[in-house]
Amino acid sequence: MLNPDSVGRTFAGVDVITVTQEEINSFAAVIGEKNTSVAPPTFSIRISLREFENILTKPEIGLNWTRLVHGDQKFEIFRPIVAGDSLTTSATIENYKIAAGNEIVTVRSDLFNGSEKVVSSWSTLVVRA
Amino acid sequence: MIEVGTAIPSHEYEINRALLKQYADASGDQNPIHQDEAFAKSVGLPDVIAHGMLTMALAGKYISDWAGGSQNVKEFSARFTKPVIVPAGKSVDLTVSATVLEVIGKSVRLEISATSQGVKVLGMAKALVEQGN
């Protein structure tokens, strides 16, 4: 169970994430995207989902990642991610509820290149009862 | 001429187990429900299922193509209503189409439909794109 006291907390990412051309190429290849000068629109999930896992499975937060399914997803893309971006991350636990025994948590990720916000995204994650 | 109600031709993508492995490696999401049939069934799923985010990535490709490139996609959201079930040894379809919901200057809001094997797999799927960048 998620610790309800964690709702509203924001966590700064520990590492600066440097995006490589190889990562963009691999992601683009899956969907058949030939233009790899910018990252595909959903590329940032590669960064945010790992960050959410790191935060939500901390012992003091306590989410059970093994029974997790993805409920919904939203991206606001201020500019496309490109190779060489050095992204700092911030994640906020925005909402938490229990419905029919399922835990439903909404987490937000903000990615910055220096002071420039690049992408905000929201993931609603469901821990099945 | 793009106006509210314009229907954008559908496109069919193929999803198979090899693509799920490729997406797992490219995205870092190695959850075994997307690769291991025995594991997927052990947690109550009918078979291996595609990553919801793979479905969304393919729908994102559809939108990017229509908008003239990934750089023109400004907002994109979807709900994962039903899983895309991917049996061993065959490919299943992901059929994506869209309708113009709103036109504001160069910005166009799209409502996206995505089905696999006749089942709707994305709900409330919408995107905001800017044309001509």
User: What is the pLDDT, as a whole number, of residue B39?
Assistant: 94
Q: Which of A33, A67, A71 sits opposite B79 (nearest CB)?
A: A71
Answer whether B76 sits within 8 Å of A31, measured CB to CB. Answer: no
Q: Determine the distance in angstroms separating the CA of B97 from the nearest CA of chain A, rounded to an integer.
A: 16
Q: Which two tokens stand for residue B50?
A: 């595609």
B53 touches chain A (CB under 8 A): yes
pLDDT in tens, B70-96: 999 999 999 999 999 999 999 999 999
User: What is the pLDDT, as a whole number, of residue B61?
Assistant: 98
A80 touches chain B (CB under 8 A): yes
Answer whether B19 sits within 8 Å of A30, measured CB to CB. Answer: yes
Inter-axis angle of helices A21-31 and B52-67, nearest 10 = 90
Answer whether B57 sits within 8 Å of A76, measured CB to CB. Answer: no
Angle formed at CA A123 by CA B48 and CA B126, multiple of 5 degrees:
90
Domains and CATH numbers, chain B: 7-15+49-130 (3.10.129.10)
pLDDT in tens, A22-77: 999 999 999 999 999 999 999 999 999 999 999 999 999 999 888 888 999 999 99
Query: Where is average pLDDT lowest: A60-69, A118-127, B41-50?
Result: A60-69
Q: Determine the distance in angstroms separating the CA of B86 from the nearest CA of chain A, rounded to an integer.
A: 16
Q: Determine the distance in angstroms separating the CA of A10 from the nearest CA of chain B, rounded to an integer.
A: 22
Q: Domain A4-127 has what CATH class?
A: alpha beta
Residue reference for tokens 């290149």: A113
Note the ipTM here.
0.96
Domain boundaries, chain A: 4-127
DSSP A20: P
